[in-house]
Amino acid sequence: MPRVKIRLFATLRERYGRGEVEVDCDGTLRGAVEKAAEVLGEGFVGEVFEGDKPREDRIILVNGRHIQFLDKVELRDGDVIAIFPPLAGG
C-alpha cells in the first residue's frame, strides 16, 4: 500500500487549513483522494473528482507531470500529488 503526499494550493489550501496531507492508498488517484477526504472532510472528493473522472477545471500533477499527459496514473510509495484549483489574475 503506497504512502503518498497530496499538496494543496491557493484556495484549496485556505479552505482545508493545510497545505499537505500524507495518506496510504490503493495506488490509484481516486483512492488517494478518498483517503485524504477522511482527514480533510468528505467534500474533498468533489473538489477533485466529478463523477468518476478528475475535474477538468483542476490542475492535477503527479510528481510534476500533469495527469492529462499520463497514459495511466499508478501511484507508488513516495509519490507527490499536487492539486491546483482554477486560478485567475490580472
Sequence ranges of the domains in the chain:
3-84
Interatomic CA distance for residues 86 and 73, integer angstroms: 21
pLDDT at 90: 58
What's the predicted TM-score (pTM) here? 0.92
Mean pLDDT value of segment 31-53: 95
CATH number for 3-84 (one of 3.10.20.30, 3.20.20.80, 3.30.310.50, 3.40.50.970): it is 3.10.20.30
Length in residues, the chain: 90
The tens digit of pLDDT for each residue in 7-24 reads: 999 999 999 999 999 999
